[in-house]
Structure 1
Amino acid sequence: MIRLLLTDGHAPARAALRSGLVGTKGIEIVGEAGHGDELLALLATAAPTVVLLDLSLPGPDAFALLPALRGQYPQLRVLARGELTNEQYVARAFDLGSHGYVLKNALLPELAHGLAAVAAGRPFLCSAIGLALLSRLHAGTPTDGDAARLALGLSKREMEVLSLVAEGFTNAEIAIKLFTSKRTVETHRQNIMEKTQTRNTAALIRLAAIQGLLPE
């Protein structure tokens, strides 16, 4: 029996998850959390065997939670749940301790299959991401710059903005360099943060460092 602790930062989405999974054979929901601190508080008392981790969960950054969960609860299995399909994002979840990754729009049977897989000690990657990776392989090998951009799901202009943010330029300075308006730059930054699920400039700079965009 899978003792599941489910998380989602959006209460209606969390309720829908619970409703869909209640009664699923082999799964017992032992707790739910809408915030990272709630998750940490529940772990000791709920004693789950699997956590369905919303990567956009409010509170402590979910990517910071992953290694902490692995360190404190080495037997715990984690199925990460997110909205992004880019390779870098998914690989980061696995690198930090997730045992599987499923998209938020995955249907209930695939979600249940993913939970069963990670509970059994197997890695899991949802089919939509696998197909996307296969499609990119068939499309050919992009340049390093294009690979980084595609991995993040960004447009060429958004990649330019991210690179300039990493170099420490303000929105006004970036607007001058790109011959556009400050408002347009602000829109690009917001789009970048939404696509990469980062919350502030510091997180953007960390992302840029991972992608090798920081100046020498």
Structure 2
Amino acid sequence: MQCTTDPRIWCEPGAEQGARAIAPLMAAAVGVVERAHYGSFPQPMRVQVYGSRESFARHSAVQPIAYGATGFGAVHLSPRLLADPPAVRAAILTHELSHLHLQQQAGVVAVARLPNWFMEGLPTAVSNGGAAERVSREEAVFALVHGRHFEAEADGSLLFPRRADEFKLSWPMYYRQSSMMVDYMKQRDGVAFERLIRDVAAGKAFGVSVQAAYGQPLSVLWQEFRAGLGRDPAAAWPQKNAPRA
């Protein structure tokens, strides 16, 4: 049912408080996503807020420990968000709306074929670290430089995506590292990055789109990104201060 004045937000009985906490954040989150994705949402959006973790997990098809998920044409938000400050709620909402925008643009199947690191790294970057709050940039730099990192692959797999557990990383570390690579690609060449996002939104293959936009394969960008991190002061943290993966 609808339980706020925002027709985009729906909630089940018992989720009214969560819905009211999300409603004031919607306008800013939508604006951030549309600017970052270079276009408006092409379809109506729906944000569903749940009254229990169990109900959230049942409807979103993710684990109850998650804060949010996107699927079945909607953003799903867990009541866990009520325990977090508004800034974290806004970041998670923005992260999930980024997923929804891309799914509306490219289609669910095309998005599922993206390399998982990019599929998660883009929303994390767009939301300024949404879902990666527990890992700092400095911790991620140290891990990347010292061999505990994901691999930026140009091709994804619909059936066997390589995700955080594949690289023995925590999800927050995986999100943080992936978003840093996305940020690097945007900072390196903003025009090329916009072309990449538009091509991906049109359903084009990721690796081909990177080559067309940057004139180089993803492997070159990945090598440049990691080489630059080696000069970052965070790369030389004393071993005793090294973060967990």
TM-score, normalization: structure 1? 0.30
Larger Rg: 1
Higher strand share: 1
